[in-house]
Amino acid sequence: MGHGPAPLTEFLADLGNTAVALPVLAAAVVWALWRGGRGALARATAAVLAMAAVPVLVVPLKSWIARPGPLTQDTGYYPSGHTATAAVAYCGAALLLRAHARRHRWWPPALALVLTLATGAGLVLRGYHWPLDVLGSWCLCLVLLLLGHRLPARYARPPRASRTPAAPDR
Is pTM beyond 0.95? Reply is no
Can you give the C-alpha Rg of the chain in angstroms? 19
Q: Give me the amino acid identity at 101.
A: A
Summarize pLDDT for 71-128 with one digit per residue, the tens.
777 877 788 889 999 999 999 999 888 877 777 878 888 999 999 999 999 999 888 8
Domain ranges for the chain, please list them: 6-155
Q: Which residues pair with 75 in a beta bridge?
A: 68
CA 49 vs CA 43, 55, 56, 104, 152: distances in Å: 10, 11, 11, 27, 12
